[in-house]
Chain A
Amino acid sequence: MSALLEVSGVSKTFDGFKAINNLSFSVNEPELRAIIGPNGAGKTTFMDLVTGKTRPDSGEIRYGELSRDLTKLSEARIAQAGIGRKFQKPTVFEDQTVSENLTMALKATRNPVTVLTKRPDESDRVADLAARVGLSDTLEQRAGILSHGQKQWLEIGMLLAQEPRLLLVDEPAAGMTSAERERTTAMLVEAAKTRAVVVIEHDMEFVRRLNCRVTVLHEGSVLAEGSLDHVCADPRVIDVYLGRPEEAADA
């Protein structure tokens, strides 16, 4: 086990609002980690910072053996370096078929000239991925006509296709039926055996099922870290998060 992602002293301010305030923590490889916290704690901003969507005002985010500073890389380069991201609401290319969506995500060169001229037959890899996420029957269907749950699975399939070393998952259980949640839990636990998986989640029941180390964010920095039972017993955590049942029920 070694630190794959090391966030140190990162801050980000939006129009005077401190979304991330001197945040420091690290994720190992392999590891399954859950990040919880009330609304506005900076969970999604943290993901935006790691994937290059937003740049921090200060601090650095080191990744991999070479300790590359992700704050200097473009989104595309970060993704190429092996960081995959699943968005809160399913974002697949609705105008394209399931197979086209998966093909685009497959780990392969991203160079435009090579993509245009070299066209290897990837149908086996695509069929294999589709089978893993239960979309074998819909390969030639447009992604736009899939159900919400199927789109979630397609996006997960696209993430698997990228073969990332670090997987960032934003609220995977949102809008899923309980059967789908169970499958998602199993998939995430399985994926975390060989790579680092960071899950942002509101749903405490879901986090409990993941049975992993939990980081609690509050006002843009780490409030507590440890097993779920450990952080739940922390009086500060109870104060800001768990102590307000009406909010927990909302989420």
Chain B
Amino acid sequence: MLIRKPSVLVFLASLALITIVATVLAQAGLVSTSFVKLLGKTLCLCIAALAMDLVWGYTGILSLGHFAFFGMGGYAIGMWLMWDRTETIVTGTLAQSPLPPTPLEIEEAIGTQIFGVVGSSDVPWLWAFAGSLPLQLAFAVLVPGLIALVFGWLAFRSRVTGVYLSILTQAGTLALSLWLFQNDSGLRGNNGLSGLQNIPGLESVSQAVLSLWFLWASAAALAGAYLLAQWTVSGRFGSVLRGIRDDEARVRFLGYEVEHYKLAVFTVTAMLCGLAGALYYPQAGIVNPAEIAPIASIYLAVWVAIGGRGRLYGAVIGAAVVSLASSWFTGGGAPDINLGFYVIKWTDWWLVLLGLSFVLVTLYAPKGLGGLVDLWTGRRSRNVGPMGPDVGALRSKEEQA
């Protein structure tokens, strides 16, 4: 039933096409490994944008903390990646000593290796299960989910809404990143976790091949997330979500426990972000507290706004276009513009351009880039945005006339 929806079909087909073309070009050596990684990372960011669209575009909760959940997923998987790789190296070294090492010695050696950079050799309690891939994978999803559940329960139950909720989420995100910046947080302070591109057990596989595997995994995850999101926003559940966004009190008088719906969406989207982060950071190679800073979550909101909130493909388009453009402009891809008296360096001016496009989209194209699709399909009956009801009634009469 979901598959029959044209937008879902077009989306899945485009995603498959992009993945296949990228794979073929990579095999032929026409695109670099770093480009394949960039593409895979972008797909993960699209998953986070989908989650943001569900929570903000559909339910009206402007969370400025969803990228923190993304980062948590990265940290959870990064802990295993670092631990397992260090363990291999350390046991290799210790094996050369005359006496076989005790488990305690191994742990101490791993601790020194990983935490030497922050002047410590003790293994913090956070790392208790770092040696287990299944557990760390579960944490990548469950920790964001649990934090979102507790935070959401407290906030929604007290009926904190609108800008106040946004500020609360932002404060929580800031607190988390400040804590992570500390050397004694147990997560290597501002060094973050690094070397994540080396996957234990797959040392013999080249990065070129690994990057393709991650691209496929990211594409599959995005496809799954899209179907899940589409399923969520369709039917009565989706109606209730959009109802909460537009008139929360009215939904209550229809007998729906608004708080339960908000909590469900907030928690599930946090878990989705955690999953996306767990796929993203092995491709990025490093996760550090700067990734979790509030600005990252604001970017997420900007992507969704530019792409067009309240429609799923809009969020994906926004995340893909803006993050790829950002890489192009800040990566030195865009040529400088020489005005004679001043040279516009895009590395400096990209943020200005982004800010300007955000303002322009908000003012003149509230439907975002996704709205362009309407021009194409001629769809105009739904999501007409801020147009007043009476104006709408008038227009529909004019259309009939």
Q: Looking at the complex, which of A141-149, A178-186, A218-226 is the stretch in contact with chain B? A: A141-149
Partner of A96, one of B232, B243, B249, B256: B243
Q: B255-273, CB under 8 A of A: which get 1 and which 0?
A: 1111011001000000000
Say yes or no: is B239 at the interface (Cβ < 8 Å to chain A).
Answer: yes
Q: Are the C-beta atoms of A74 and B257 separated by less than 8 Å?
A: yes
Partner of B257, one of A53, A103, A110: A110
Say yes or no: is B4 at the interface (Cβ < 8 Å to chain A).
Answer: no
Interface of chain B, helix or strand or loop or mixed? Answer: helix
Residue numbers in B under 8 Å from A51 (CB-CB)? 253
The smallest beta-carbon distance between B54 and chain A, in angstroms, is: 12
Say yes or no: is B129 at the interface (Cβ < 8 Å to chain A).
Answer: no
Q: Are the C-beta atoms of B393 and A162 separated by less than 8 Å?
A: no
The smallest beta-carbon distance between A98 and chain B, in angstroms, is: 12
Q: Are the C-beta atoms of B247 and A93 separated by less than 8 Å?
A: yes
Say yes or no: is A95 at the interface (Cβ < 8 Å to chain B).
Answer: yes
Q: Which A83-121 residues sit within 8 Å CB-CB of chain B?
A: 84-85, 87, 91, 93-97, 100-101, 103-105, 110, 112-113, 115-116, 119
Q: Are the C-beta atoms of A91 and B250 separated by less than 8 Å?
A: yes
Interface residues on chain B, number (Cβ under 8 Å): 33
The smallest beta-carbon distance between B371 and chain A, in angstroms, is: 15
Residue numbers in A under 8 Å from B251 (CB-CB)? 104
Q: A91-B250, A93-B250, A103-B236 are in contact. Are A162 and B255 (CB under 8 A)?
A: yes
Say yes or no: is A24 at the interface (Cβ < 8 Å to chain B).
Answer: no
Bound CA span A205–B155, Å: 47
Say yes or no: is A203 at the interface (Cβ < 8 Å to chain B).
Answer: no
Residue numbers in B under 8 Å from A116 (CB-CB)? 232, 235, 237, 264
Q: B335-348, CB under 8 A of A: which get 1 and which 0?
A: 00000000000000
Task: Considering the complex, give the chain B residue whose CB is closest to the CB of A100.
Answer: B239
Interface of chain A, helix or strand or loop or mixed? Answer: helix
Q: A103-B239, A115-B237 are in contact. Are A145 and B393 (CB under 8 A)?
A: yes
Residue numbers in A under 8 Å from B249 (CB-CB)? 53, 75
Residue numbers in A under 8 Å from B260 (CB-CB)? 112
Say yes or no: is B162 at the interface (Cβ < 8 Å to chain A).
Answer: no
Say yes or no: is A238 at the interface (Cβ < 8 Å to chain B).
Answer: no
Say yes or no: is A79 at the interface (Cβ < 8 Å to chain B).
Answer: yes
Residue numbers in B under 8 Å from A110 (CB-CB)? 255-257
Residue numbers in B under 8 Å from A147 (CB-CB)? 393
Partner of B392, one of A84, A85, A97, A142: A142
Q: Which B371-399 residues sit within 8 Å CB-CB of chain A?
A: 381-384, 387, 389, 392-393, 395-396
| Most-contacted residue by chain A among B236, B252, B255, B395 (CB, 10 A) | B255
Partner of A144, one of B232, B247, B254, B392: B392
Bound CA span A146–B393, Å: 6
Q: Are the C-beta atoms of A93 and B253 separated by less than 8 Å?
A: no
Say yes or no: is B37 at the interface (Cβ < 8 Å to chain A).
Answer: no
Q: A53-B249, A95-B246, A115-B237 are in contact. Are A76 and B255 (CB under 8 A)?
A: yes
| Most-contacted residue by chain A among B246, B257, B387 (CB, 10 A) | B257
Q: Are the C-beta atoms of A93 and B243 separated by less than 8 Å?
A: yes
Q: Are the C-beta atoms of A95 and B383 separated by less than 8 Å?
A: yes
Bound CA span A141–B256, Å: 24
Bound CA span A234–B305, Å: 61
Q: Are the C-beta atoms of A145 and B246 separated by less than 8 Å?
A: no
Q: B69-80, CB under 8 A of A: which get 1 and which 0?
A: 000000000000
Q: Are the C-beta atoms of B255 and A115 separated by less than 8 Å?
A: no
Bound CA span A80–B242, Å: 20
The smallest beta-carbon distance between A183 and chain B, in angstroms, is: 20
Bound CA span A144–B247, Å: 13
The smallest beta-carbon distance between A73 and chain B, in angstroms, is: 11
Residue numbers in B under 8 Å from A100 (CB-CB)? 239
Q: B172-192, CB under 8 A of A: which get 1 and which 0?
A: 000000000000000000000
| Most-contacted residue by chain A among B237, B253, B264 (CB, 10 A) | B253
Q: A104-B243, A104-B254, A146-B393 are in contact. Are A112 and B237 (CB under 8 A)?
A: yes
Task: Considering the complex, give the chain A residue whose CB is closest to the CB of B255.
Answer: A79
The smallest beta-carbon distance between B271 and chain A, in angstroms, is: 15
Bound CA span A243–B258, Å: 45
Residue numbers in B under 8 Å from A113 (CB-CB)? 264
Residue numbers in B under 8 Å from A75 (CB-CB)? 249, 252-253
Q: Are the C-beta atoms of A96 and B384 separated by less than 8 Å?
A: no
Bound CA span A85–B261, Å: 21
Say yes or no: is A158 at the interface (Cβ < 8 Å to chain B).
Answer: yes
The smallest beta-carbon distance between B96 and chain A, in angstroms, is: 57
Given contacts A85-B253, A115-B237, 9 further A-B contacts (CB under 8 A): A75-B253, A96-B242, A104-B236, A104-B239, A104-B251, A110-B255, A142-B381, A142-B384, A144-B392
Q: List 21 A-B contacts (CB under 8 A).
A: A53-B249, A74-B252, A76-B257, A79-B254, A84-B253, A91-B247, A93-B242, A94-B389, A95-B242, A96-B239, A101-B239, A104-B236, A104-B243, A104-B254, A112-B237, A112-B257, A113-B264, A116-B232, A142-B392, A145-B396, A147-B393
Q: What are the 5 tightest A-B residue pairs by CB atom distance, in nearest-first order?
A: A79-B255, A75-B252, A145-B392, A80-B255, A76-B257
Residues of B within 8 A of A (CB): 232, 235-237, 239-240, 242-243, 246-247, 249-258, 260-261, 264, 381-384, 387, 389, 392-393, 395-396
